[in-house]
Chains A and B, each alone.
Chain A
């Protein structure tokens, strides 16, 4: 993976924007009376992510996420909500693993892939009722 960074800003894995999304998560919290609400966890490391959606005329009008876990799972959720807000559900449906990993923009080791994709699982299972899981399918 990466070499040891001189400063936090040039760490190849814990990039500044990832740490920023971890420490200052966007769209964090709960929605009152959401149209859709779903939560998933990764029992192995105890990561939990839940999302509340407000959908109007087929568009994700508002979104909030909650949960706890490692920097990768939380930053990935925060990034995903930014992308989802204002997006038609039909378009949100097309978001896949490659998109989420691309957005994170770092090399994810097999041990951490579940962390990175937990929020996508919440989106898939919650918003579309797609069968849960899993990152092995592709």
Chain B
């Protein structure tokens, strides 16, 4: 049996809720529990120093804690080795790293890159830049009327032997859960290298990268209870070994000589310069927190809240919901209200301390496809209560009263 989350107890770990906000923007960035900030403060106050460099005790302690996050993350996503866990600033940097270090070496003139219309800009723009530089082509898998990927079209594109296939595990704009396993298997069978954007997957669905079988998996700590500035690139060792560094300078080298430099081994080859030490330690605490809750319980809670919110919003007159039914989506609901621009709705919700996202959610190609300029978006996490959803519905009704 799946554990259920004790949300009331969980919320006590999040001091920000004392301000009275209803926080419905976790897909953007999550809140952080006391345990995460405490781990960071402990570093600042007890063993603040640089890692990997100094020969004194507090630096050793800092290094141990900093490196401990790697094992926690490895365990969380079931990677084969900590050598496959690269610290980055977040998903964006992780994808850029792959586009730069892998892409510049392997993508050639005339090659095909397959993306989808559900992608976040950070899984589009680096590939556009690479494609323009190399003379490669990008094709985008379309969505159907439910906001789910057209797998028939995906299969067709695979017949053209793409070099790279990159897609999100979960759409941040619609909440669509993509059939990642099936897509990776098909793409691998077609001979492609596969990157999965796990920014919305790792925090909510969880992942087993070995079962998934992808070559690269990118995600951000700040969307999974960790601080900003620390994220992860998972890469299969074989690929990472063959790649050149992304950034270069201190720390990523073995030896620097006037005649040339030899690079450090994995994972440090990709971690140039002084890293976000406190943030990485904070991410470790966030992984501990999530692991203690259990990803199954996290998913079950989100499903319950999402179903509740979907029902509640469906009952509101003049409200349009985008994306798949609640059973097929993560804790994200995009919607619009007749006659009220999402920004006006967000402004009115804000007066009730309801934090709601309004805009294009960094997915402009998707918005264009949906024929809307912007939507309002509510998203949920481990601490979300039904009461917060009720407050959102209250704000919507208030907006409708003002705009009637």
Contact = CB atoms under 8 A, between A and B. Distances in A.
Given A4-B398, A19-B403, A46 B374 contact: yes
Interface residues of B, number: 22
A110 interface: no
Given A4-B352, A68-B373, A112 B343 contact: yes
Nearest to B399: A14
Contacts of A48: 373
Interface string B342-358: 11100110111000001
Contacts of A109: 347
Given A8-B402, A19-B402, A45-B374, A14 B364 contact: no
A13 interface: yes
Given A44-B360, A46-B373, A115 B402 contact: no
Interface string B330-351: 0000000000011110011011
Given A5-B402, A11-B402, A70-B343, A43 B351 contact: no
Contact of A43 (B364, B402, B404): B364
Given A4-B352, A70-B344, A112-B343, A44 B403 contact: no
Interface string A10-21: 010110000100
B344 A44 contact: no
B359 A44 contact: yes
Q: Please classify the interface of chain A as helix (H, G, I), strand (E, B), loop, or mixed, using the class held by over half of its residues.
A: loop
Nearest to A74: B341
A68 B67 CA distance: 51
A5 B401 CA distance: 10
Contacts of B398: 4
B341 A70 contact: yes
Contacts of B404: 8
A86 interface: no
Nearest to A69: B341
Nearest to A48: B373
Given A8-B401, A43-B364, A13 B347 contact: yes
B302 to A, nearest CB: 27
A67 B342 CA distance: 16
Contacts of B319: none
Contacts of B347: 13, 109, 111-112
Nearest to B403: A19
B300 interface: no
A43 B360 contact: yes
B360 A46 contact: yes
B185 interface: no
A1 interface: yes
B367 interface: yes
Interface of B: 341-344, 347-348, 350-352, 358-360, 364, 367, 372-374, 398, 401-404
Interface of A: 1-5, 8, 11, 13-14, 19, 43-48, 68-72, 109, 111-112, 115
29 contacts: A1-B350, A1-B351, A2-B351, A3-B351, A5-B402, A8-B402, A11-B402, A13-B347, A13-B351, A14-B403, A19-B403, A45-B343, A45-B358, A45-B359, A45-B373, A46-B360, A46-B367, A46-B372, A46-B373, A68-B373, A69-B343, A70-B341, A70-B343, A71-B341, A72-B344, A109-B347, A112-B343, A112-B347, A115-B343
Given A44-B359, A44-B360, A115-B343, 11 more contacts: A1-B350, A2-B351, A8-B404, A11-B402, A13-B347, A14-B344, A45-B341, A45-B359, A45-B373, A69-B373, A111-B347
